[in-house]
Structures are given as C-alpha cells and as structure tokens.
Amino acid sequence: MGKMSPKRRSIEIRQKKKRRAKLQKLRQRYLSEKQSKERDEIWAKVTKIAPWLSLKEFLAKK
C-alpha cells in the first residue's frame, strides 16, 4: 500500500464502509427476490460495485 496521508486513508476507510453497507443491502434484496430477472438486475449492480466478487462469495458473506 505504501505511504499514505491520513486524509487519504480516512477517505478509503469511508469508501470501504459504504461499499460494505451497499453490498449488505443488495444481498438482502437478492435473497428476498423470487424472479430471476430481478436477481439479474441486482447482480449487475453488485458487479459494478465489487467486480472481484463471485456470486458464491457474495452470497456467503454476512
């Protein structure tokens, strides 16, 4: 990661918290949806937020 200013570090921490909260909300919506079309739309949002996550990893995290 290297050297980083305290301001930049706090920004990164805030972004990470926001990303986690957003993924948690999307995970709840994904599990509550019954139709595959709705689930596909939610999964598309997840891949924009966290492209490194697989569907299995996304559903496993709590």
Q: Would residue 1 count as lying in a domain? A: no
Q: Give a yes or no: residue 18 inside a domain.
A: yes
- Is 2 inside any structural domain? no
Identify the domain containing residue 54 by its residue range.
7-60
Q: pLDDT by residue (tens digit) across 15-53?
A: 999 999 999 999 999 999 999 999 999 999 999 999 999
Question: H or E segment at 46?
Answer: helix 36-49
What domain count does the chain have?
A: 1
User: What is the number of other CB atoms lying within 10 angstroms of the CB of residue 27?
Assistant: 17
Name, in order, each residue with C-beta under 8 angstroms of 26's C-beta and a sequence gap of 6 or more.
Answer: 42, 45, 46, 49
* DSSP code at position 35: S
- The structure's pTM equals 0.83
